[in-house]
Amino acid sequence: MLSPPTSSGAHPLPHWAALANQARQAILASTTDSIKASRAAVSTQEQPPAIMPSPYLWIVIASGVLSFLTGGGVGMNDLANAFGTTYGARIMKLWQIVLLASICEFVGAVALGAEVTSTISNGIANPQSFADEPYILMYGMMCALAAAFMWLMFATLMELPVSSTHSIAGAIMGFVMVYGGPKAVSFAKRIDTFPFVAGVAPIIASWFISPGFSGVAAATLYGTVRCIVLRADKPVRRAMYFLPVIVGITFFLESFFVLYKGAKARLHWSAGKAAWVSAIVGCCASIVTTALLPFLSRRVRWLWERRQRDGMSAAEAPGCVKESPEPVPETLVREPAMCPMTSPPPESGADGGGIL
């Protein structure tokens, strides 16, 4: 009970202190009850449903598996162009080539594959044709990967010449035309950089232009080496002189392609800057090759002497048939036996001056 106010109109101090204490207790009790009620409501209410995965996640997973399999088909065909001569010359063993190629192909695809990815994704199909149904583009790309993989496997098993670039480009063009007709294919559109045309037209043109330029370049290079090196009196010594030049030119061309074309999306370098940097790389490669020439010369001499020793020791092997003016029946020649060379080694004169 509240005591009546005094004549001054104010309650005594003990009365107001008790009233404040009661109010504080009431607020505390109300707050406690609210917290308990909130906790009870949270514990009893229905949990929100779990986030459902995207209905197109299976396309991403399947495309990843097909990309891995298609990469194997690419390795079985295109990789032979890069390492065929290396294996044929017995410079590296097969397992070494596979290991090195796996590392280089993976690093190159991750670091320098943006330009190729842009061409495949936007250079063939017109993205505007799939604006209303983008999942169709995802599904079509997955089907293109599957078609390219099956065709690469079939051609490889049948030992047919095949190109992975032609396979994937043709597969994408096929499903785009089936879905949206010719208007869905980006045949040609003008751009500001070389070759100033993008789309399917430059891709198809490269199928005919590249072999022609490659043939001219290969014929020119082989003719130069044949005239200057192979037909010289001492071809091995002449090859030692020209090896730094050839290595420098090779590093220049490869570096220019990587810096200007492969890493274009990352570096954005002009052709002049890429050429200068590539020239420096080529000069450094030539200097390193020149420094290694003495070791290479000793290696060549050692290999030639070992070949001569192996030939002399094989002369005593049973079944070895020496050279004869008359043809020798194949039944008399055994596979493991080898006869020594009767002719003098190349580049060695009458005084036995050696090969260098």
Residues 132 and 237 in one domain: no
Residues 65 and 169 in one domain: yes
pLDDT number for residue 7? 47
DSSP 277-322: HHHHHHHHHHHHHHHTHHHHHHHHHHHHHHHHHHHHHHTTSTT---
Angle between helices 57-88 and 134-157 (to 10 degrees): 30
Tell me: the pLDDT tens digits for 244-271? 999 999 999 989 988 888 777 777 888 8
Tell me: the pLDDT tens digits for 176-192? 988 888 888 888 888 77
Residues 159 and 95 in one domain: yes
Domain boundary among 186, 211, 243: 186
Residues of the chain with pLDDT under 70: 1-53, 313-356
The reported pTM is: 0.61
- Say if CB 279 and CB 316 are below 8 A apart: no
Both structure tokens of 243: 């090896």
Residues 161 and 238 in one domain: no
Residues 181 and 61 in one domain: yes
- Cβ neighbours of 253 (radius 10 Å): 13
Between CA 73 and CA 258 the distance in angstroms is 23
Domain presence at residue 206: no
pLDDT number for residue 317? 56
Between CA 153 and CA 149 the distance in angstroms is 6
Angle between helices 57-88 and 164-180 (to 10 degrees): 150
Residues 244 and 159 in one domain: no
Domain boundary among 303, 320, 337: 303
Domain presence at residue 4: no
pLDDT number for residue 276? 94
Angle at 291 between CA 87 and CA 283, to 5 degrees: 85
Domain presence at residue 148: yes
DSSP 72-133: HHHHHHHHHHHHHHHHHTTSS-HHHHHHHHHHHHHHHHHHH-HHHHHHHHHSSB-GGGGSS-
The three-state secondary structure class of 228 is: helix
pLDDT number for residue 215? 92
Query: In Å, how far are 136, 144, 178, 322 from 139, measured between CA atoms?
Result: 5, 9, 13, 67
- Return left, alpha or beta for 161; rule: phi > 0 is left, psi -120 to 50 is alpha, else beta: beta
As for how many domains the chain has, the answer is 2
- Cβ neighbours of 122 (radius 10 Å): 13
Domain presence at residue 216: no
Chain centroid to CA 143: how far? 22
Residues 60 and 163 in one domain: yes
Residues 141 and 241 in one domain: no
Domain presence at residue 324: no
Residues 237 and 148 in one domain: no
Residue 125, strand partner residues: 185
Contacts with 124 (C-beta within 8 Å, 6 or more apart), sequence order: 169, 172, 173, 176, 185, 186, 199, 200, 203
- Say if CB 74 and CB 164 are below 8 A apart: yes
Domain presence at residue 154: yes
Residues 60 and 173 in one domain: yes
Between CA 73 and CA 345 the distance in angstroms is 43
Between CA 356 and CA 345 the distance in angstroms is 11
Domain presence at residue 254: yes
Give the range of the structural domain holding residue 259, as residue numbers without chain letter: 233-303
Contacts with 95 (C-beta within 8 Å, 6 or more apart), sequence order: none
CA end-to-end span of the chain, whole Å? 124
Between CA 233 and CA 348 the distance in angstroms is 10
Domain presence at residue 199: no
Of 274, 309, 277, 108, give the one whose Cα is nearest residue 194.
274
- Say if CB 234 and CB 301 are below 8 A apart: no
Residues 61 and 152 in one domain: yes
C-beta contacts of 66-73 below 8 A and 24+ residues apart? 66/142, 66/145, 66/146, 66/149, 67/145, 69/149, 70/145, 70/148, 70/149, 70/152, 70/164, 70/168, 71/105, 73/148, 73/149, 73/152, 73/153, 73/156, 73/164
Residues 156 and 268 in one domain: no
